[in-house]
Structures are given as C-alpha cells and as structure tokens.
Structure 1
Amino acid sequence: MANEVKNVAFIGLGIMGLPMAKNLLKAGFNVTGYNRSQGKIDELVEAGGNGATSVADAVKDADVIITMVPDSPDVAGVVRGEDGVFANAKKGAYWVDNSSIRPDVTAELSKEAVEAGIRPVDAPVSGGEPGAIDGVLSIMCGGEQADFDAVKPVLEAMGKTIVLVGPAGSGQTVKAANQLIVAGNIQLLAEAIVFLEAYGVDTNAALNVLGGGLAGSKVLDQKGQKMLDRSFEPGFRLELHHKDMGIVTSAAREAGVILPLGAVAAQLVAATVAEGHGGLDHSGLLKIVEQLSGRDK
C-alpha cells in the first residue's frame, strides 16, 4: 500500500461497488462508504468498513475517492455542488471514477477536478459481478501518469489487468469499445444457442466444444450457462448496457466512425429493454432472439 494512500471513500455500493469496496478492506485500506440505500452501507460496515451519512461526510478525510454510479448525470451529481466531492475533499486527494460514462463528460469533470485541487483518474472496469467479487477486474484508466501511479495500489486491490490508456477520458473511450465487443458477443452467443436448441442438439456439450475452439470467449464462459438455464439474475443489467451502447454509438458518430454490427447490437439491446427486461442480466438478450424466432416461452 502506498504510504500516502490509506483512507478510501467509496461512493456507490451497488452490484459492482460493494464487492470492490470489500476487496479494498481485505487489502488493508480504511474504507468509508456512501450509498443512497442504507442497507448497502450497513453491509460494508459489517465487513469492517465505515458508513457515511453523505458524500461530504464520506470524502472529508479520504486520500482517494472512488465513484461507482450508473451514468454521467449521477457522477456529475456526486462531484459537483456544495455537498459534492470537489467542494469537500481535501486538496491533493485523488478522484478515481470507476463508473462507465461519456468520455466528453469525463474530460469536462476532470478539468473541474483539477481546478478544485483534486487529481482525477477515470478508471471504468470490466469483468462484471464475478470479476468484482474475485478482484480480477480489467481497469482501463485515463489521466496523468503520476496520478495513475499513485492510485495503482488501490486499483490493484480490485483488479488484475490495470492499464493507463491515455489522458483524461481515454479510459471511458476504451470502456465504450469494451461494451461494443461484449454486446456483439452476447448477441451472437444468444443466436447460436437458439439455433442449437432448434435442432435439438445437446447444448451443454455444444458449448463445451465451442468453448475449446476459436469461438471460445469469456462471454461464452460466463454467460453461456446462464442462457441455457434462463437464469438472468443481474451481474450487469441490460439497462446499463443500453446506456453504454448509447455512449459508443454517439461517440462513433462524432468521430465519423461507422459501426454496422454495433448499431444492430445497440438496437437489439434497446428492444430488449423496451420489452421490459432492462433489469435482467445482459445475457437476457437471449429473450429478444427467442421472440424474433417465435420461440419465446
């Protein structure tokens, strides 16, 4: 643990945030958590952390402040204002945003952080709930090299693959690309499963052999059985992937980049959410394939 980094404030103790905060505790950091629902704060306290009554309360003594909230407006709401991070954190503290938000918003908020005397690192994560629990997340970071180096011990308590990919906002850009790839993989896996089931194939055996060849992927490993079991308890909710696909398609349009398959995947994610399945795991994309094939149960 870096000597200057002992106290960590963790804001946003959701499906991903709570296990990430618990891993920080296991690594020996002093963690103070804040969440909109008290129950999650209580869980952190039971694990050995401290609870805060507000964002301002959480960040006042923190060396590193981590935010892990759903969307761009949520992050802005947490860091801005008289009760926010920028107004209440001590000068020189580091702000690590593990949320997945728009790159342009990240760049704007990072500039505001620097003006407030806070050192920002955008650090969105990939690996879902299992990765958060096991502490093996992939963390793509944007910011200054010195700031990245300072917070890396904190990130290493939560992740396995941790890379600085460029200046402020770059982490969010790479995360958008990650979500593009993941959505496409999930959609094709769903199509393959519906196709296999239509022919009465032993799907468990089929996924086993597919996983050993070029079709193998972490998506197949983590989501294949969930699809076969129609078990869609959220590790990462479809509504959040819908948000992320909006980010990547918008950013691609601004850059003049064409994403033909990505656009289709984004529409299928949107359709699944529109059908009322936004609270399901993103493996729930299987439902829209079944529906389009007339095989929904």
Structure 2
Amino acid sequence: MASEGGLILRNVSRAHEGGYTCRVNGVSSETSWLLIKDVSKPASLSVSPDSSQVLEYQSFSLSCSSSAPGWTIRRFSENTRKTSSCGGDWGVLSSSVCRLQTAKKSDSALYWCESPTMQRSNTVQITVYDRPVVLLIPALPVASGRNVNLTCLTRSPSAASADFYRNDSFIGSGSWSFILRSVSTDDEGSYSCRTGGGVSPPGWLSVRAPPDPDPDPDPDSSSSSPLRSILWKILYAPVSIFYFIPTCVFIYKLRHRATGWSPAGRTRTSGPRRAAEEEEAAAGGDDYDDAMAPVTTQHHF
C-alpha cells in the first residue's frame, strides 16, 4: 500500500530553486529539480519629479509601472554599500509607489524595481544635495524630438532668473527654466544653472536616438499580403489563357505541316516521298490510278 504526504511552497521565487527530496522511514527519494519561471512583464522605474538631482529635505517618489503584483523598490547606497527595500529603514511603500517625504543625503543611491523572482527594471541614480541650487534635469533618457524643460531650483526666493550652461558653455537665460526644443543626440551633455544664490551641480542629459525606419516591403517576396497575391492571379489568369491557346494551335499546325500529316487519309509520309507523289499527281496521277485499278494478281498452289 502506497501512502502520500505533501508540502506546499507558497509565493515561490527564484530563491526556492534547487533540488528537492523526501524521506520516509529513513529511505530517501531521488532528487528532483525545481525551476522557477518568471512570466511577468519587466517593470519600468520612474521618478517624480523627473530629476536625478534632489534638494535636501524635499520630497520625491518612485514608482514601478508593472501590473504584476509583488514588485518592490530597492536601492543600493554607496555610503553603506548595502542593498535594502522601500518600507524598511527608508521610504513609505504603497502598492508599487515608494515615497520619501524628507530626502536626506543618505538617500543618495541607485534605485530599481524588483519582482519576487528577482527580475529587475531599469536603474536610476538619485543624488540628494544640501547646496542652495540644483538643476532639475530628467533622470531617464528622453526620446529624440521631445522638448526638455530644465528648471533651476533654489532656496533663495530673491533670484529672478537663471543662466543655463551646457558643457560649461552658456546657452541662454530664463525665469527659473529653460526649454530645449526637439532634442537630438547632439544635445546630450552636462548641464548646469547659475543664479544669484550659486551654481548647481552638473547633471547629465541622455537622449535616445530614433529607431531605424522599417524597410519598404518587397512586393515579390513571400511576405506579400495574401490579398495582393489573389489580385495578381485574377488579373493575369485571362492574359495567360489568351496567349496560351493561340500558341498551342500554332505549335499543333507547325508540327503537322513538318511531318506531312493528312487528316483525310490518316497517313503520314516523309518529305521525299511526298514530293514524288506531288510530281506524279501533277503528271496525271489520276489516269495511272485508273489503269492500275483492274489489275489483279493470281497465285497457283
């Protein structure tokens, strides 16, 4: 008689992968390997406000754009050289959003989303400054062709305008902000701003190049649409028949003329013999046939 026992592994992750055995009365089973497959779509981490620079004591939030449950937000701090999750020693986690109410310099870290099966999203480097001026610059690469708004954030309300620089070269002034229109990969670089209160740390702007256009489809390739193939058959079938039938008739007549085919007598003569018969007919072949008609041949045994 066989008996059964079971063990349920709940909320499995890649940490549960490995070889499993069971033992009954000191007898062990063979080892079976458990593999974990992650079928969830990769998540994407975003920052609000969209900036890699944060003023100390300001708030910011991070969110994972994934519909799959169980994703959390983690970070690696270069100061402590440790990895930790939101909701523990830092941040407040609600659903897939982690909010830091009062940012400190210790919150400068590399952030990402992570699933229960240890699948990771893109990473974002956030730096918290205690300086009087910072530049709000997109933390993630922006698509080519978009407008990018650079904002100079300062603790001094007396400053009325700001100067903006790219790779230490002046590019323009504005009332706290400057717009880069229809950016391209040529706009990538290090940006900073200057106000009466000081100069911001440099921030890097990354621009994604546009995707290569798809090549024009080949109408003669096998990937052409079925509808196009059907239309070609409908259009060219009558034309093919129009040329095919006269060609067959022409070949038929040409072959019979070359071999001396006689439809009436169903006989076939070679070229020289036919020429002799024609000469004989021209010289009175009919009389010759009449003279030969009554002749008979007798055989005696």
TM-score (norm 1): 0.20
- Where relative contact order (Cα < 8 A, 6+ residues apart) is larger, the structure is 1
Which has the larger share of helix?
1
TM-score (norm 2): 0.20
